[in-house]
Structure 1
Amino acid sequence: MLKQRYLWIIIIIILAIALSFYFIYNKGKDGDTGKTEEEIEEFEEEDIEINEAPVKIEKGIVVGMKAGEKEWEIEADKISLAEDRKKTIFEKIKKAVIFKDNEPYLNIQLNKCIADMGSKSMELVGDVVIETKEGDILKGDRFYWDSEEETLASLEPVELIVKENNITADWLVSDVELNKLELQGNVKVTFIIN
C-alpha cells in the first residue's frame, strides 16, 4: 500500500514536470500568443525587409571584358551587387572608361552606373559627360551603353559638342565613335563658321 502511494506521487510529479516543460516550450515564456509556430514564422518573414545589397565594396575597380578584351572599366568609391546578383551598381565614380580595340576611347564623368554583368551593358545616370579620344563631348542625364551593338542611346535631352559646333536633341542613338548619329525631337544644330 505504501509502495502504491509512492508510485502515485512519483507519477504525479513526472506528469507535473512534463506539463511544465510542454507549456514553457510550446506556449513561449511570456505566455500564450494564440498562434502556431508556422503562423509566427510567416508573420516574422513578412515584417523583415532588407533593402541593402547583399555585397558592398568600398573603393574598387571593376573591368568589363568582351571576347577577351577590356571593354569598360569603372573606378568607384561605392560598388554594390544587386539582390538579383546580375547587376552591379557603382556610385561616387572617380573614373569610367569605355574601350575600343582594347584602348581607352570614351572617358565618362557621371554620378551613378548600373552595369548588367551578363550582357556587360550599362545605364549611365546623373550629369553624364562623355568625351571621345578626339575631344568630342556628349552631355545628358541618362545614357544606355549596349555592349553587343556598341551603341550609346539616350531617351532624354542631349547636347553634343563637336569642334565648337553644338547639337541638341530630345533623344539620340550613336555608335561608339559618335560618327553615326540618329537624333530626334527638337534637333537644333549650331555651326560656328570661321
Structure 2
Amino acid sequence: MSAQLNPTPAREPSGRAWVARFPTSASVADCAQPFRDNLGAFLAALGAAGASVNIAATLRPRQRAYLMHWCWSIVKQKTDPRSIAPLDGVPIAWAHVDAQGNFDPIASVAAAEDMVEAYGMQGLNVAPALQSNHISGTAVDMAISWNGSLTINRRDGTPVQIASLPRSGMNPDLKTVGASYGVIKFVGGASDMPHWSADGH
C-alpha cells in the first residue's frame, strides 16, 4: 500500500494584506553582535553630542525581503509570477487565476502593484535584495541631523568638531567618526542615504 502524500498547503493570493506581515524591526536590540554594541556606542556618542537620530529599520525578516523583492520584480522587471520559487513559511500565490482556474496575468500584476505601493517602493530603481545586511542584523537605516557645529567623540574618546555640511548622515566627517565605531556609511552614496552597516553594504 503506497504512502499517502501530504496535501499541498493552500496559498493566499498576493496583495496588500501581505505587506503588514513580517514587519521590519527598528530596535537596536535585534541587531547581531558585535554590530549591536558598535551601533549602540555610536548612537550614545551622537546623543551626547546633541544630534537627533531617528531609526527607521534594523533587522528585516527574510520573508519580508522575499515579498518586497518579488512584487517589485513582477511590476518593474515583468517577471512571470508563475516562475517565482516559493519560500518556506510564506504561502503566497503570486500567480492569480480567473474563475475558470486559468492564469490571470492582469490580476497578478495588479496585486503586485498594490504591494509595491503599500511598501512605498514606487520610486525604487533597484530590486530589494534577497540577501542583505538588514537580513543578517548588521545594518541600520537612520536619519541623523543637528544644528550648528557638532562635537562628537570617536570610539577612542578623541573629540571631533564637525562644522561642515550637510548636517546629516551624509556628512563625510561624520562618516569617519561612524567608521571608528565599526558603523560604516553606505558606500553607494545617495542611492540609500539612511543606510549604515558593518561593511558599508
**TM tier, shorter chain?**
under 0.3
Structure number, greater radius of gyration:
1
Q: Which has the higher contact order (CA 8 A, sep 6+)?
A: 2
Looking at secondary structure, tell me which structure has more helix per residue. 2
Looking at secondary structure, tell me which structure has more strand per residue. 1
